[in-house]
Amino acid sequence: MNVKSLVTIKGIKDGLVFLLDDACELDELLDELEAKLARHEQQLAGPIVHIQIKLGSRQLTEEDKERIRSIIRKQGNFVVQSIESDPVPVGPADYSAYKVQTVTGMVRSGQTLEHEGHLLLLGDVNPGGTVRSTGDIYIMGALRGVAHAGCAGHTEAIITASLMKPTQLRIAEVISRPPDEWASSEPWMEYAYLQDGNMQIDKMAHLHHNRNRALQAKGV
Amino acid sequence: MGEAIVVTSGKGGVGKTTTSANVGTALALMGKKVCMIDTDIGLRNLDVVMGLENRIIYDLIDVAEGRCRLNQALVKDKRFDELYMLPAAQTKDKNDISPDQVRKIVEELKPDFDYVIIDCPAGIEQGFRNAIAGADHAIVVTTPENAAVRDADRVIGLLEKTSISQPRLVINRIRPNLLKSGDMLEVDDIIQVLAIDLIGIVPDDEDVIKAANQGEPTVMNPNSRAAMAYRNVARRILGETVPLMHLDEKAGVFKRMRKFLGMG
């Protein structure tokens, strides 16, 4: 017998929530669900009860969902309201799997450049223009518009530009608005990153501390 | 075969019509055969600036819909034999003509003229699409203000998606005293953002307003600073290399003397 139950039933305001384990075999899960319902048959007779089913990270086909519904339907007064899975994470789970891709051109006012992975842009981003990337954004040129790195939710993304004069910077869900929140007038190249949910600006030379990557350079 | 140049800006009130009228007239002054087209249907102004309002019989829409022949609608200028204008309709709006119709009219004009100057309405909607339809080249007009530069940038982005060659920039209404005090965008800053070739800088000049109200393009007045600037633009269109004018050159003899004596 499992230590932890595969099926957890919780009462909410307008019915019941079934939390189904997402790590075990589906058949095992269905058996337990059936057993659990059979055991409670007496208590569960009565007025109509709405059921919400949460599958966790498990993704099911319509066929399998129908199997769950048919098990629950055996309890005459149960109505399945929804069967939900957690949203699928976008992009590679491992951020380091992203590749750098080079794009040449200017992003002018009213234009949006969207990109998957790390973006190396050779050109300017003008005020009113937007670059959006699921990975890092490196701009060899002036950033005067909006840059949104890690737009699928990666908080380790960074933004850097030869000339850092953005209207707005965004990393994952965090939005920062210079110069109210930070101003850059340093002569060296800088990058923006997230630290504890806040946008920070630092010298490019400090990036490797942040990422804990030592360079294996040749030489004595 | 002549070339068609559209004068556009995105933002209104930066001097598209003034630039069209003056560059067109300057080209005519240099002996070229020029036709100006006003595509600002419903809000036509070019005829007023040129002082030709009372000579209009047919307009652009009449030509497009076949109510008259093209050369019946052309208004001949009162100063130059080789300068013509095709006026916009005042009673219709931008949706009453299509880009294809404008393209056809421009193509019909090009063999007969050295330059066809197309005055574009403000905005980036139908009127803009009509105006750029037949153009080979573009001149983008902006003023040293953030809003105007932003809109110019937007328009350049749209122009770059068409077959029109890389647009060239006119920076209009520069006030040298504001430039000096640092309260106005620098010419260099504007060029750095827009990243296109500069074809002229035009100082703000009261003569332009006076001239426009009299229906006389400023370029006709050789004493005006703006006139010199517009003539320079025309010369650059013809392919000459003309250095940019110095904006604070206007200091008179007296002022220069004071400066010399260390009083200015």
Choose, out of A113, A121, A126, A131, the residue to mutate when testing the contact with B (most B CBs < 10 Å): A126
User: Scanning every residue of chain B, which has its alpha carbon at the shortest distance from the alpha carbon of A109?
Assistant: B154
Question: Are the C-beta atoms of residues B137 and B162 closer than 8 Å to each other?
Answer: no
Give the DSSP per-residue string, chain A: --SS-SEEEEEETTEEEEEE-SSS-HHHHHHHHHHHHHHTTTTT-SS-EEEEEE-TT----HHHHHHHHHHHHTSTTEEEEEEE-PPPPPS-SSGGG--EEEEES-B-TT-EEEESSEEEEES-B-TT-EEEESS-EEEEEEE-SEEEESTTS-TT--EEEEEE--SEEEETTEEE-TTTS-----SS-EEEEEETTEEEEEEGGGHHHHHT--------
HSE (CB half, 13 Å, CA atoms) of B156? 28
A163 touches chain B (CB under 8 A): no
**What percent of chain A is modeled with pLDDT above 90?**
36
* Chain A / chain B CB contacts < 8 angstroms: 31
**What percent of chain B is modeled with pLDDT above 70?**
94
B185 touches chain A (CB under 8 A): no
- Please report the pLDDT score of residue B143 as a whole number: 96
Q: End-to-end alpha-carbon separation of chain A, Å?
A: 62
**Interface contact A108-B156, CB threshold 8 A:** yes
Lowest mean pLDDT among A2-6, A63-67, B160-164, B191-195: A2-6
- Cα separation of B50 and B28, whole Å? 13
Give B245 or B130, the one with higher predicted confidence: B130
A167 touches chain B (CB under 8 A): no
A124 touches chain B (CB under 8 A): yes
Q: Shortest Cα distance from A186 to chain B (angstroms)? A: 19
- Residues of B with CB below 8 A from A124's CB? 193, 195
- Residues of B with CB below 8 A from A127's CB? 146, 150, 153, 193
- Residues of B with CB below 8 A from A109's CB? 150-151, 153-154, 157
Model confidence band, residue A89 (pLDDT cutoffs 50, 70, 90): low
- What is the per-residue pLDDT across B10-36, written as a single tens digit (0 to 9) for each? 999 999 999 999 999 999 999 999 999
Model confidence band, residue B211 (pLDDT cutoffs 50, 70, 90): very high
Q: Shortest Cα distance from A80 to chain B (angstroms)? A: 51
**Interface contact B150-A142, CB threshold 8 A:** no
**Interface contact B192-A126, CB threshold 8 A:** no
User: Scanning every residue of chain B, which has its alpha carbon at the shortest distance from the alpha carbon of A126?
Assistant: B193
Written as one letter, the residue type at A189 is M
- Residues of A with CB below 8 A from B150's CB? 109, 127-128
Q: Shortest Cα distance from A108 to chain B (angstroms)? A: 6
Question: Are the C-beta atoms of residues A202 and A190 closer than 8 Å to each other?
Answer: yes
- Please report the pLDDT score of residue A13 as a whole number: 81
Whether complex ipTM tops 0.95:
no
Q: Shortest Cα distance from B179 to chain A (angstroms)? A: 22
- Calculate the average pLDDT of chain B: 92
Whether the per-residue pLDDT at A75 is higher than 80: the answer is no
Choose, out of B124, B193, B194, the residue to mutate when testing the contact with A (most A CBs < 10 Å): B193
B166 touches chain A (CB under 8 A): no
Instruction: Return the ∠ at Cα A141 (arms to A137 and A142), rounded to 5°.
Output: 90
**Interface contact B153-A108, CB threshold 8 A:** yes
- Cα separation of A141 and B39, whole Å? 37
Q: Shortest Cα distance from A55 to chain B (angstroms)? A: 47
Q: Is the dihedral of CA B202, B203, B209, B211 positive or negative?
A: negative
Choose, out of B11, B153, B156, the residue to mutate when testing the contact with A (most A CBs < 10 Å): B153
- What is the per-residue pLDDT across A123-179, written as a single tens digit (0 to 9) for each? 999 999 999 999 999 999 999 999 999 998 899 999 999 999 999 999 999 999 887
Q: Which of B188, B137, B190 is nearest to B166 (CA)?
A: B137
Angle, to 10 degrees, between the axis of helix B146-160 and the axis of helix B126-133? Answer: 60
Q: Is the dihedral of CA B126, B129, B133, B137 positive or negative?
A: positive
Model confidence band, residue A56 (pLDDT cutoffs 50, 70, 90): confident
- Cα separation of B187 and B144, whole Å? 7
User: Scanning every residue of chain B, which has its alpha carbon at the shortest distance from the alpha carbon of A142?
Assistant: B193
φ and ψ of B144, to 5 deg:
-75, 55
User: Scanning every residue of chain A, which has its alpha carbon at the shortest distance from the alpha carbon of B190?
Assistant: A126
Written as one letter, the residue type at A60 is L
**Three-state SS sequence of chain B:** CCEEEEEECCCCCCCHHHHHHHHHHHHHHCCCCEEEEECCCCCCCHHHHHCCHHHCCCCHHHHHCCCCCHHHHCEECCCCCCEEEECCCCCCCHHHCCHHHHHHHHHHHHHHCCEEEEECCCCCCHHHHHHHHCCCEEEEEECCCHHHHHHHHHHHHHHHCCCCCCCEEEEEEECHHHHHHCCCCCHHHHHHHHCCEEEEEEECCHHHHHHHHCCCCHHHCCCCHHHHHHHHHHHHHCCCCCCCCCCCCCCCHHHHHHHHCCCC
- What is the per-residue pLDDT across B57-86, written as a single tens digit (0 to 9) for each? 999 999 999 999 999 999 999 999 999 999
- What is the per-residue pLDDT across B214-263, written as a single tens digit (0 to 9) for each? 999 999 998 899 999 999 999 999 999 999 888 765 555 565 566 566 65
Model confidence band, residue B120 (pLDDT cutoffs 50, 70, 90): very high
Model confidence band, residue A216 (pLDDT cutoffs 50, 70, 90): confident
Model confidence band, residue B264 (pLDDT cutoffs 50, 70, 90): very low
Model confidence band, residue A92 (pLDDT cutoffs 50, 70, 90): low
User: Scanning every residue of chain B, which has its alpha carbon at the shortest distance from the alpha carbon of A127?
Assistant: B150
**What percent of chain A is modeled with pLDDT above 70?**
86
> Which pTM value belongs to this model?
0.75
**Interface contact B193-A127, CB threshold 8 A:** yes
**Interface contact B154-A106, CB threshold 8 A:** no
Question: Are the C-beta atoms of residues A134 and A114 closer than 8 Å to each other?
Answer: no
- Please report the pLDDT score of residue A205 as a whole number: 85
User: Scanning every residue of chain A, which has its alpha carbon at the shortest distance from the alpha carbon of B156?
Assistant: A108
φ and ψ of A201, to 5 deg:
-120, 135
User: Is residue A174 exposed (0-12), middle (13-18) or buried (19+ Cβ within 10 Å)?
Assistant: middle
